[in-house]
Amino acid sequence: MKLSASLVLISILFTGLALASPIARRSREKMQMNSAVGQSVGAAYFITNEQTGNFVVAADIGPDGTLNLRQAVATGGLGLHGNDGGVNGPDGLFTQGAVKASAAANMLATVNPGSDSLSIFSINPSDPTDIEQIGDPIGSGGEFPVSLAFNKAGDTLCALNGGQVNGVSCFKVDQTKGLGNLSGTNRSLNLNQTTPANGPAGTASHVIFSEDGTQLIASVKGIPPTPGFLAVWDIASDGSLSQDFKSIAPASGGLLPFSMTLIDGKNAILATDAGVGFDIFDFNSGSNASSVVPIDGQSATCWSSFSNQTGNFYLTDIGTSVVTEVNVDSNLKGSIVKQYAQGNNSGTIDNDIASISGSDFMYVLSANATAIDVLSLNAPGKAQNIQRVDIAGPAKAAGLTVGVSVQGMTAFVKK
């Protein structure tokens, strides 16, 4: 049940007292997690998503792809965990993309699900863990924001809201003022949901721009046996969205489309499917649905990213804690290349891949282990685990609250 506005205000005030300072005063707070500064080629970021205050954690990426946690910066908003049947387990947002970086604009954005807002930061291109919030958090255009997408230029940011007021909303990105509302972009998904969302089934999952930037796409999980769908809005020249979305269902057997990763040059999308493995959506075909590919033994395959160096996709399963490497050929036929175990009950969720001096590295947020697993993607079928980064220890030493509510993963590499 959603709280009234007055009760929400009282809740925020008491939260502020519990933290010994109001949330507004913490909007620029930074916590150092490691004072040692090494050679950095980029940074990786995730959010704590704690109800007492949301922080974005920044880690240096070294020339060898390994991570060094550097600092946590308050977003000025609150985190929130979705209703998952009382489990209160990892992936409290049921989503991919809770934090996103734009290399084109040197900007970083985060959701604040507990305060229905978004925050944006500038990234120092010389020292990417050095981030500064621009302006105050802005309303997300709905409730329980869960996923973000920058356009290629980095001057537009779109958010996916998954709560009772659900759908998408887009914002102009100003380098000095922060985020501003973009008219004609607040569009509803018309889901029968609550704030926070009840899931994972039946929840909004991920938002991305199409490869050519002419469409905005959101994925929605089904409630078995009813399959989910992709919602596709056309983008006009002024940035506004079509009033209604086109709903595209997966091919027969698809159930829970979750993350979406573009298949370069094919006008197609690989979508993880927690009910079966992954779906391939071919936007050039009449049905817009190409195939559904099972992953034997999968539990909940939900997150994905693509490696330019290997030409393959890498999918993470929260239930089995396994990374699955997938190839999609020129005919959009998907196949399993190899699987890589990350440790029992690690709770592998969101991930991203960074290209560094001709090599690719994968960063996997292992929420149950409160850690980040780093894989070197040496060649197709040759991924290797090279590091497990403990988050809990450095966070405790810095006075930062972290747990299984951690969300998102995005990488930024110096130009």
DSSP string, 86-136: T---S-TT--S-SEEEETTTTEEEEEETTTTEEEEEEE-TTSTT-EEE-S-
Residue 34 tokens read as: 């490691």
* Number of other residues whose CB lies within 10 A of the CB of residue 240: 17
Q: Give Cα 209 distance to the centre of its chain.
A: 14
d(CA 323, CA 91): 16
Residues of the chain with pLDDT under 70: 1-28, 35-38, 286-289
- 383's CB contacts (< 8 A; 6+ apart) are 314, 323, 325, 338, 340, 362, 375, 376, 377
Backbone angles phi, psi at 299, to 5 degrees: -115, -50
Q: Tokens for 374?
A: 């780093």
- The pLDDT score that the predictor gives to residue 194 is 98
> For 242-273, how does the pLDDT look when each residue is reduced to its tens digit (9 = 90+)?
999 999 999 999 999 999 999 999 999 999 99
Question: Can you name the residues that pair with 72 across neighbouring β-strands?
Answer: 31, 57
Q: Pairing relation of β-strands 301-306 and 268-273?
A: unpaired
pLDDT score at 13: 24
Beta-strand ranges (E) seen in 342-378 are: 348-356, 359-366, 371-377
pLDDT digits (tens, 9 = 90+) for 57-72: 999 999 999 999 999 9
Q: Give the CA distances from residue 238 to residues 63, 182, 190, 242, in Å, rounded to whole numbers and listed in that order.
A: 41, 9, 24, 11
398 sits in which H/E element:
helix 392-398
Share above pLDDT 90 across residues of the chain, in percent, rounded to a whole number: 88
DSSP 3-state of 343: coil
The whole-angstrom distance between residue 321's C-alpha and the CA centroid of its chain comes to: 18
Closest C-alpha among 45, 42, 36, 46 to residue 64 = 42
C-beta of residue 259 within 8 angstroms of C-beta of residue 217: no
Cα separation, 39 vs 64, whole angstroms: 10
CA distances from 23 to 57, 98, 179, 246, 297 (A): 18, 20, 20, 40, 44
104: left (phi over 0), alpha (psi -120 to 50) or beta: alpha
Provide the pLDDT for residue 287.
62
**Res 7: pLDDT:** 25
pTM: 0.92
Q: What pLDDT does residue 39 have?
A: 82
Place of tokens 């569009």: 187
Task: Judge whether 54 and 75 are in contact, CB under 8 Å.
Answer: yes
pLDDT at 25: 39
Residue among 275, 382, 277 nearest 338 (CA): 382
pLDDT score recorded for residue 29: 86
Give the residue carrying structure tokens 């979508």: 271
Query: Does residue 394 have a cis bond before it (omega within 30 degrees)?
Result: no
| Separation of CA 34 from chain center | 25
Q: The tokens of 63 are what?
A: 């020339």
Beta bridge partners of 31: 72
Domains of the chain, with CATH numbers?
A: 5-413 (2.130.10.10)
The residues, ordered by sequence, that sit 6+ positions from 10 with a Cβ below 8 Å of its Cβ are none
DSSP three-state, residue 17: helix
Label residue 212 exposed, middle or buried (CB < 10 Å: 0-12, 13-18, 19+). exposed
Contacts of 14 (CB under 8 A, 6+ apart): none
